[in-house]
Structure 1
Amino acid sequence: MKKVLIAIDYHPVSEKVVEAGYNLAKKLNAEVCLIHVLADVAYYGMQYQPFMGYDGYNETAIDLNIAAEMHQVAEDYLNQAAEHLNDDKVGKKLAEGDTAKAILEYSKDWHADLIVMGTHSHSFLEKLLVGTVAAQVLEKTKVPVYMVPVKK
């Protein structure tokens, strides 16, 4: 395994996913790339405690209706997540659109040997109607997926 793609979302549990994926990649002596998909701007308005050195943003300073600003917020988050690893060789990819599709497309384009993702706890109804990103990736990937459990 030469390339490990670590998918992160805007949620504090991503820190656990990043660290688990990065540690595995280092054991495999593999190249690492973090991917974050800008899919739903509502997530960026959530106020969490700081994680991976990212404090979020001041909601009065950003107009959520302006896509360019949300793109910058997402880039800042991805950059901070990469800096958290203290390794300037870590790649970063900010994609937009459907999360599962974007992860699958980039894993193919980047020739990833492994995808690392977290498993979130979703309601039964949400899983039934929408499915989870992890389930969608698992269903369609041609690359092994390393799932990091992140339930509290």
Structure 2
Amino acid sequence: MKNILVAIDFNKNENELLEHARRYAKAFNAKLWLLHVAAPEPEFIGFGVGPQYIRDSRATELKKEHRLMNDFTDIMKEEGIDCEGLLINGGTIEMILEEAEKLEIGLIITGHHTHNFFYKAFFGSVSSGVIKKTDIPVLIIPL
């Protein structure tokens, strides 16, 4: 296993997820790919971009996520782990699988959050969606 993809959602549980990823990267001498899939831009889902304050807010949010991703990759690199961060827009499950294919990923690591019935009914689970649509081994970390 040469490449490990870690799906990060910025729900304040990243350190726990990254600790598991760190252990696997060191054990297999693998490169870590930290991936955050940002919500698609409004025009991608059939809406206009809206007023300027919405665009400014979105830009600020993406800059913050980009800084956090850089911080995470820097920490891994300081520990001697080959690591790169990716911040992309799109559908979460689809983008995780697309990047995993492109990067020849041998293991996908993702967190799992407990959600109520209505959340699951409307949005589903990223971890279960990834498992259903890939042959790549998936490590689910309960968060």
Q: Compute the TM-score of the two structures, normalised by the length of structure 2.
A: 0.81
- 1:65 corresponds to: 55
SS in structure 2 at match of 1:23: helix
Q: Are 1:117 and 1:134, in contact at CA under 8 Å, matched by a contact in 2?
A: yes
Deviation sequence 1:103-135 (CA, Å, 0-9, x none): 111011111011000111111111122211111
Identity %: 29
RMSD: 1.9
State how far apart, in whole Å, the 1-side matches of 2:111 and 2:91 are: 17
- 2:103 corresponds to: 110
Q: Give the gaps of 5 or more residues in structure 1.
A: 42-62
SS in structure 2 at match of 1:94: strand
Q: Does 1:144 align with 2:140?
A: no
Q: Which has the higher helix share?
A: 2
State how far apart, in whole Å, the 2-side matches of 1:21 and 1:68 are: 29
- 2:74 corresponds to: 83
The one-letter code of the counterpart of 2:130 is: V
Structure having the higher Rg: 2
Q: Give the gaps of 5 or more residues in structure 2.
A: 42-52
Q: Are 2:37 and 2:90, in contact at CA under 8 Å, matched by a contact in 1?
A: yes
The one of 129, 137, 140 equivalent to 2:122 is 129
Q: Are 1:64 and 1:70, in contact at CA under 8 Å, matched by a contact in 2?
A: no
- 1:46 corresponds to: none
How far off is 1:40 after superposition?
Answer: 6.9
Greater mean alpha carbon deviation, residues 67-76 or residues 29-38: 67-76
Task: Tell me: CA distance 1:90–1:121, structure 2 relative to 1, closer, same or farther (3 Å).
Answer: same
Q: Compute the TM-score of the two structures, normalised by the length of structure 1.
A: 0.77
